[in-house]
Structure 1
Amino acid sequence: MAYFREERLARLLGRVRVVIFDMDGLIVDNESLQFEATNKVLSPYKIKLTTDDWIKKCLGRRAKEFFRDIVSENSISLKEGLEDLVERKNRYYQQLVSRRIDDIVRPGVVEFIDFLYRRYKLALATCAGRIETEAVIGKRGLGIMDKFEVIIMGDEVEYPKPDPQIYKLVADKMKISPSSCLVLEDTAIGVEAARGAGMFVVAVPNRYTKNQDFSRANYVVTDLTPEARIINLK
């Protein structure tokens, strides 16, 4: 039984044994909530990021990294440690997600995970930390955490995407060849990381990433519904 009506996607899915999901922007369209939470904790320092700032400086990166850059660029004298700033952002973000989870889940993704769970091994590879990850896929979120055999979060790797370390670690933990893995990503740096690990990649851009260069992806698709279409964003 095929999930996708598009034959090329169905054939690609038939070539792999493991499907690896990114989370932010891929499972949930949550970038606006991350953006809101970040500006919330920066407001006492009279800093307000624009959407363009978010896309260029923060999208797809670990919070500690982009906060460090923002603090440095704006010569901010923090009243708290950098870790505390990140923690406050994460707690506020968690509150936002719990209130809006049904509104931010991307079309078809939960149904696709349910379909795959009975047929493939699943993994999650995200730059998010534990609080953010549990907010989205834990019991108070989508309730799908137990569907993933392996979950690797951003604080478990030394080198963030586009470095392939996180995807290589997934393959190692699952004792599977990278060539037997399909990665689903929403950002160009995520695609680069997966390709660097020797895996197949399908890009599913969102409103923030639709103008990125996805030329290294095997396919770029509209969504993860059975009716997903292959698109060319160039």
Structure 2
Amino acid sequence: MRRTMPEIKAIFFDQDGVIVDTERDGHRVAFNRAFESFGFDVRWDVPKYHEMLQVGGGKERMRHQLRTGGFGREIPPDQEDALIAQLHQCKTDIFIEMIERRQLPLRPGVHRLMQEACRRGLMLGVCTTSAERAARSILEGLLADMHFDLVLAGDVVNRKKPDPEIYLLALEKTGLRPERCVVVEDSSNGVKAAKAAGMNVVATVNDYTRDEDLSLADIVLSCLGDEDGPQAELIRSRKPWKIDGIVRVTDLVNYFQ
């Protein structure tokens, strides 16, 4: 007899690279402008930023740069924490200004899938280690018509992905069992975090993550797809699955039954 799995009750989205393709033309640019404004001789080109993405969290990336490559001048150890905080605040201000100017559009299918989830009565959540101010700016500026039941961002957890802490917190706050949740991620670290929390995982790749090891994800896609925009291409799934270029909530619910 075929075992019936619990029906999906929630969809949680990562932000950077999932809701908005922020990394290459958003965060990277903002980091570089912040370095420049502080007079630091640091510039992350596209390949270098790909390397930096293996470090979870913006402040952590800046600290990694300081300790491995430096900022072009000596920084006293007792000033590191304050400097990193100021530098990250500057970077966040620049990034939010880019969002407010609509320079970073939503990824294909994100808004549509969220609308479908709301109509079906599913919980919607965002789980990101990006700064809370930046996360709120994206949600309020680009997804103002959506109701989010849960938004976890910034320093709400101590450990960054691939640690599952942020997703375990999501389960704690919603009271849901992990098998009732679908997480949309884009990176190996994000997939590992969600899987370690016991959740179902869909990965939508981007320029930075398409070559990462996403083998733990249940489904790997090019994007979620829009009828009047880019179509979703199935890269891999754990079991046979067909899509017509558009990933719908019904498709996900049926897949994870």
TM-score over 0.5 for the pair: yes
Structure 1 contact 134–141 (Cα < 8 Å) conserved: no
Name the residue aligned to 1:135. 137
Q: Secondary structure at the match of 2:214?
A: coil
Name the residue aligned to 2:62. 67
Cα drift, residue 128 of structure 1: 0.8
Q: Residue type of the partner of 2:85?
A: E
Q: Summarize the alignment of residues 15-26 of structure 1 with structure 2, pairs less than 5 Å apart.
A: 15-26=7-18
Q: Secondary structure at the match of 1:159?
A: coil
Q: Aligned pair 1:87/2:89, yes or no?
A: yes
Q: Aligned pair 1:157/2:149, yes or no?
A: no
Q: Secondary structure at the match of 1:231?
A: strand
Separation (CA, whole Å) in 2 of partners of 1:58 and 1:208: 9
Provide Cα deviations, 1:109-138, integer angstroms capped at 9, x if missing partner. 111101101221111100111111022111
Cα distance change of structure 1 residues 99 and 224 upon mapping to structure 2, 3 Å threshold: same
Q: Which has the larger radius of gyration?
A: 2
Match of 2:46 among 34, 51, 62: 51
Cα drift, residue 168 of structure 1: 0.7
Cα drift, residue 61 of structure 1: 2.1
Q: Residue type of the partner of 1:81?
A: L
Separation (CA, whole Å) in 2 of partners of 1:125 and 1:170: 8
Unaligned runs of 5+ in 1: 1-11
Name the residue aligned to 1:6. none
Identity %: 29
Q: Residue type of the partner of 2:213?
A: D
Q: Aligned pair 1:169/2:177, yes or no?
A: no
Separation (CA, whole Å) in 2 of partners of 1:127 and 1:184: 14
Q: Residue type of the partner of 1:231?
A: I
Name the residue aligned to 1:9. none
Structure 1 contact 60–187 (Cα < 8 Å) conserved: no
Separation (CA, whole Å) in 1 of partners of 2:232 and 2:55: 23
TM-score (norm 1): 0.87
Cα drift, residue 58 of structure 1: 2.9
Residues 69-78 or 82-91, more deviating: 69-78
Name the residue aligned to 1:114. 115
Separation (CA, whole Å) in 1 of partners of 2:200 and 2:128: 17
Separation (CA, whole Å) in 2 of partners of 1:208 and 1:96: 20
Provide Cα deviations, 1:73-99, integer angstroms capped at 9, x if missing partner. 233335862100000000011111111
Match of 1:42 among 26, 35, 43: 35
Separation (CA, whole Å) in 1 of partners of 2:220 and 2:9: 20
Cα distance change of structure 1 residues 75 and 221 upon mapping to structure 2, 3 Å threshold: closer
What's the Cα RMSD here?
Answer: 2.2
Name the residue aligned to 1:197. 197
Q: Aligned pair 1:100/2:102, yes or no?
A: yes
TM-score (norm 2): 0.79
Unaligned runs of 5+ in 2: 238-257
Q: Summarize the alignment of residues 190-229 of structure 1 with structure 2, pairs less than 5 Å apart.
A: 190-225=190-225, 228-229=232-233
Cα drift, residue 192 of structure 1: 0.3
Alignment length (residue pairs):
219
Structure 1 contact 222–230 (Cα < 8 Å) conserved: yes
Cα drift, residue 160 of structure 1: 0.6
Cα drift, residue 200 of structure 1: 0.4
Q: Residue type of the partner of 1:228?
A: A
